[in-house]
Amino acid sequence: MQAIAATPAVPALVAPALVAEQTLQAQAPPARPAGPLAAGKRDAVGEPVPHFFTASQLAALHRLCELLMPPMGGNPGAVEAGVPEFLDFHVGQSPTDRQQMYKGGLDLLNARATKQFGKAFAALDAKQADSVIRPLLVLVPWQFELPKEPGARFMTAAHDDIRVATRNSREWTQAAIAAGRRPVGAQLYFAPVDPIYRG
């Protein structure tokens, strides 16, 4: 962020026409200390507006977030960290295959919940939900390729996304600071260099 430049020093040789302006400047209030003007943060002021998942998919995702990443050890859980709404945004921006994996996976949770318990996944208690989730959990010794089976594929990806998005949230950092712990995740950000502007 670039600070607003201070008023330039008055040149030693002042042209007569500028004298009046110089007088005006002399009467102006003193300059404020330089600092960023736009320090507000998006996540601190705005509520995300989900638009990608259907209502039943979003409800299932909400319940999945509660179960996979609940509040633990003084840290916020995925729901408190706004992860369902964040994933609605992030998956909505994604290539089609990731979108379909998520939609298909959430529909699968609802379908199995309906088949086993006659209600949506969002309405299951923890024990019921466990019987839907557990068959989809697989070991992932190799983290760079998702399982081929669609249900396990969705669960592996969603589990990872939910955990990372929770830990990367503003809420997680705030909780860490409040508890006197070192916040995780701050890194050097490499800004674009001399980009080519098109259009």
Residues that bind other proteins (CB under 8 A): 41, 43, 67-70, 72-73, 86, 90-91, 93-95, 98, 133-134, 137-145, 156, 159-161, 163-165, 168-170, 173, 183, 185-194, 196
Kindly tell me which of 30 and 73 has the beta carbon lying closer to other proteins.
73
- CA–CA separation, 120 and 142 (whole Å): 32
- CA–CA separation, 156 and 146 (whole Å): 7
- CA–CA separation, 132 and 27 (whole Å): 73
Kindly tell me which of 18 and 184 has the beta carbon lying closer to other proteins.
184
Structure tokens at 69: 């990443």
Kindly tell me which of 12 and 39 has the beta carbon lying closer to other proteins.
39
Kindly tell me which of 8 and 95 has the beta carbon lying closer to other proteins.
95
57 to 64, 101, 124, 139, 152: CA distances (angstroms): 10, 12, 14, 25, 17
Tell me whether residue 162 is exposed, middle or buried, using C-beta atoms within 10 angstroms of its C-beta: 0 to 12, 13 to 18, 19 or more: buried
Q: How far separated are the first and last CA of the chain, in Å rounded?
A: 25
Kindly tell me which of 32 and 182 has the beta carbon lying closer to other proteins.
182
